[in-house]
Amino acid sequence: MEHYIYKNRQKLRCGYTTGSCAAAAAKAAAVMLLCQSSLKKIDLMTPKGILLHLDLHDVQITSSNVTCAVKKDSGDDPDITNGVLVYATVEKQTEPTISLKGGIGVGTVTKAGLEQPIGEAAINRVPRQMIKQELEQIKEDFDYTGGFCVTISIPKGVELAQKTFNPKLGIEGGISVLGTSGIVEPMSEQALIESIYIELNMLAANNTEKTLLITPGNYGEHFVRENTNLNLSRSIKCSNYIGQTLDKAVELGFERILCIGHIGKFIKLAGGIMNTHSNMADCRMELFAAHTAMYCADCRLIHNIMACITTDQVLDLLEERNLTKQVMTSILEKIDMHLTHRVGGQVKIGAILFSNQHGYLGETSQVQEICTHDIQTKEQNE
């Protein structure tokens, strides 16, 4: 595929989704079934308005059904599905409808809160629409009055599923067929946010206590596992998108939220920065310097803080002056204020900060209440 976008002054090649692969394979299989002749390529118009010209693989034609595959191309996006073959098998049926099911390597929904009902194949709404739209058009073009039964399969999906969030989300036996625009944009921020929203929906549907544990990533999860008894089954990794995760959690009706994160990210919350990516803002040292200056008028110390590269270096300086507790208390008060403002006062919200080098650094005012009453511990679940 030769469609490009520019991000951070880099020219990046786009790819296409598993949903586009499934729709293209289904379209090609239906055409070959009605024509009883082989095709090498198929065109597909994506919801984004970009026309794809796709090669077909492993074509198998019989009088009753046709199977073919389209190879996934993720472009410059780091995607584990890149290069996998997405198969469609199409057969005729008497009823003039188009039925769709998942074959090997396509996951099955086992928990409430996902886009498809329990028991259905994990083929999302837009790919389903794309498949049905293409096949309805083929029926019209060929003046065919019957229907089609379509089975989407991804043979490598069983293996790949273990490298995704699907088992945790409640999708068993394979990967999901995804896509909203039909196009994969490299390092798409929206795609990451949408994946967080999907997991939040699942957690909301299966969490009667309406309590949520948020960590930005592996550091936070490791700290929870090694230093607390909190239940990670109620947790979500939000990456840098703390604000958008909180907004969605409020929308879904969560009543208690505990955020646990490394000081390197969470110091930014003290400045009201809810997207912690360094491209958005990086005022870690400025925030530390401002809060330190409230308790120490030593200009040399403030200059040294501003010259630090890491937050652990700042903490070393504060330890030397016995200022860590005062400064962290001040920072946590601001974090408390900004988090409470973000959720509109509608939920109880707290934060715990830590450093890999210095360990536990402190917590906001409502943490103990949230932990004591609402987040089940490992022992309670055993």
Ranking 18-27, 139-148, 168-177 by mean pLDDT, the lowest is 168-177
Read off the pTM: 0.67
Contact status, residue 325 vs residue 296, Cβ threshold 8 Å:
no
Residues 214, 242: Cα–Cα separation, whole Å: 8
- Confidence grade of residue 145 (pLDDT, cut at 50, 70, 90): very high
Please check the confidence at residue 377 and state whether its pLDDT lies above 60: no
What pLDDT score does 381 carry?
42
Query: Tokens representing 44?
Result: 């597909």
What DSSP character marks residue 267? G
What is the dihedral angle through the alpha carbons of 161, 166, 170, 174, rounded to the nearest 10 degrees? -30
Ranking 48-52, 93-97, 312-316, 344-348 by mean pLDDT, the lowest is 344-348
Tally of CB atoms within 10 A around 198: 19
What pLDDT score does 184 carry?
86
3-state SS track over 81-103: CCCCEEEEEEEEECCCCEEEEEC
Strand 51-55, strand 41-45: pairing:
antiparallel
Mean pLDDT of the chain: 91
Please check the confidence at residue 330 and state whether its pLDDT lies above 80: yes
- In the chain, residues under CATH classification 3.30.2110.10 are 4-184
What pLDDT score does 374 carry?
52
More confident residue, 189 or 132: 132
Ramachandran angles phi, psi of 77, nearest 5°? -90, 130
- Confidence grade of residue 6 (pLDDT, cut at 50, 70, 90): low
Residues 260, 219: Cα–Cα separation, whole Å: 9
Strand 211-215, strand 256-262: pairing:
parallel
Instruction: Locate the DSSP E strands across 25-156.
Output: 41-45, 51-55, 57-61, 65-71, 85-93, 98-102, 105-106, 108-109, 147-153
Section 344-368 average pLDDT? 94
Spell out a b/e string for 318-328, using b for 16 or more CB atoms within 10 Å of the CB, else e. Answer: beeeebbebbb
What pLDDT score does 246 carry?
98
Residue 59 burial class via C-beta count within 10 angstroms: exposed 0-12, middle 13-18, buried 19 and up: middle
Section 132-151 average pLDDT? 97
Residues 304, 44: Cα–Cα separation, whole Å: 59
Section 205-228 average pLDDT? 89
Tell me how long the chain is.
382
More confident residue, 198 or 19: 19
Domain covering 4-184: architecture: 2-Layer Sandwich (3.30)
Q: Which amino acid is at 250?
A: V
Please check the confidence at residue 292 and state whether its pLDDT lies above 80: yes
What pLDDT score does 194 carry?
84
Section 207-225 average pLDDT? 89
Please check the confidence at residue 362 and state whether its pLDDT lies above 80: yes
Ranking 6-10, 38-42, 48-52, 143-147 by mean pLDDT, the lowest is 6-10
Residues 364, 131: Cα–Cα separation, whole Å: 50
Section 326-336 average pLDDT? 98
Q: Which amino acid is at 374?
A: D
- Reading phi first (left if > 0) and then psi (alpha if -120 to 50, else beta), residue 286 is in alpha
More confident residue, 278 or 22: 22
For 264-285, the pLDDT digits (tens) are 999 999 999 999 987 788 899 9
Contact status, residue 5 vs residue 185, Cβ threshold 8 Å:
yes
Residues 108, 174: Cα–Cα separation, whole Å: 7
